[in-house]
């Protein structure tokens, strides 16, 4: 006889689309995004909330998706890296990271993009220090953060409509 599956059905808006998935009660959002929905742009560097590689937006709030239960997003809006570039147009943070060479291996990049987007929505004109503190939860082992911070501040400028 088959064992009961013990899965729950969850409905959420993910990157603008109504999405339904099955998950077990203990499963975290990062795992479901990656393994059930093939949204592999959300990375897992630690699974303990310490690296920020799994950053996503839930109802516009920046969270570590390795710390959120998948079942918690029932009825919520989730935005992952796959949903940031809309209609083929990169978000200014993505564009500026490319222009500044703000990534080396790129494993931290999706999380950085999500976190920086959230920053610029909260604060369109951050100081260098504010950007550094906001992004302190996104570990990057490759770049020393220099070009990431420059890219984010440059993106802020672009979004404010100022010439670079």
Partner 1 sequence: MNAYQEFKVIGSRPVRPDGLDKVTGRARYGADLNMQGQIYGHVVRSPHAHAVIQSIDCSKALAMEGVLAVMTGDDLVKPGNEMLGGGEGAMALKDVVPMVMSQGKVLFHSQAVAAVAATSPELAAEAARAVEVVYEVLPAVTDVHKALADDAPILHDDRFPDGYPEEPTNLATHISLTVGDPDAAFEKADVVIEHTYSVPMCHQGYIEPHACVARVDPAGRVELWCCTQGHFTVRHYTSAVTGIDQGKIKVTASEIGGGFGGKTTVYLEPLAVVLAQKAGRPVKMVMDRGDVFRATGPAPGAETRVKLGAMRDGTLVAADVECLMDSGAYNGNPAGIPAFMATACYKLTDARSTGRSVYTNKPKIHAYRAPSIPQVTLGFELAITELAAELGMDPIDFRLMNAVEEGDANMMGAPYKRIGLRECLEVARNHPHYQSAVAEGAGRGVAMGYWINAGMQSSATINVSSDGHVAVLTGSPDIGGSRASMALMASEVLGIPFEHIHPQVAATDSVGHTDVTGGSRTTLATGQAVIQAAEQCVAEMCRRAASEWGVEAGVVTWSQGAAHHGENTLTFEQLARRAGGMGGPLTFSSSLTSTSTAPGFGVHICDAEVDKETGRTTITRYTAIQDAGKAIHPDYVEGQMQGGAVQGIGWALNEEYLYNADGVLENPGFLDYRIPVASDLPYIDTVIVEIPNPLHPFGVKGVGEVPIVPPMPAIAEAVYQSTGVRFRDLPLNPPKIVAGLASG
Minimum distance from CB of 5 to partner 1 (Å)?
11
Return the number of the residue (10 or 52) whose C-beta is nearest partner 1: 52
The binding site for ligand FES (CB under 6 A) comprises 44-47, 49-54, 64, 66, 103-108, 140-143
101 makes contact, choosing from partner 1, ligand FES, none, with CB < 5 to 8 Å by partner type, with partner 1
- Alpha helix (H) residue ranges in the chain: 29-31, 92-100, 109-122, 128-134, 146-159
- Write b or e for each residue in 13-37: b if 16 or more Cβ atoms lie within 10 A of its Cβ, otherwise e: bbbeeebebebeeebbbbbbbbeeb
The binding site for partner 1 (CB under 8 A) comprises 34-35, 39-48, 50-51, 53, 80-82, 84-85, 90, 94, 97-101, 103-110, 113, 128-129, 131-133, 135-150
Contact of 26 with 50, CB cutoff 8 Å: no
């Amino acid at each position: 006889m088959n064992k009961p599956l013990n899965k729950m059905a969850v409905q959420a808006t993910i990157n603008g689309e109504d999405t339904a998935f099955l998950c077990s009660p203990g499963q975290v959002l990062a795992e479901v995004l990656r393994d059930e929905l093939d949204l592999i742009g959300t990375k897992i560097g630690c699974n303990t909330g310490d690296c920020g590689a799994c950053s996503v937006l839930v109802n516009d709030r920046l969270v570590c998706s390795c710390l959120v239960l998948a079942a918690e997003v029932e009825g919520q809006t989730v935005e992952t890296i796959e949903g940031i570039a809309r209609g083929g147009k990169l978000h200014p943070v993505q564009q500026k990271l490319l222009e500044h060479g703000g990534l080396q291996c790129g494993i931290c990049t999706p999380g950085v993009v999500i976190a920086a987007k959230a920053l610029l929505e909260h604060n369109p004109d951050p100081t260098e220090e504010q950007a550094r503190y906001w992004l302190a939860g996104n570990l990057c082992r490759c770049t020393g953060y220099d070009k990431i911070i420059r890219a984010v501040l440059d993106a802020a400028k672009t979004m404010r409509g100022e010439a670079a």
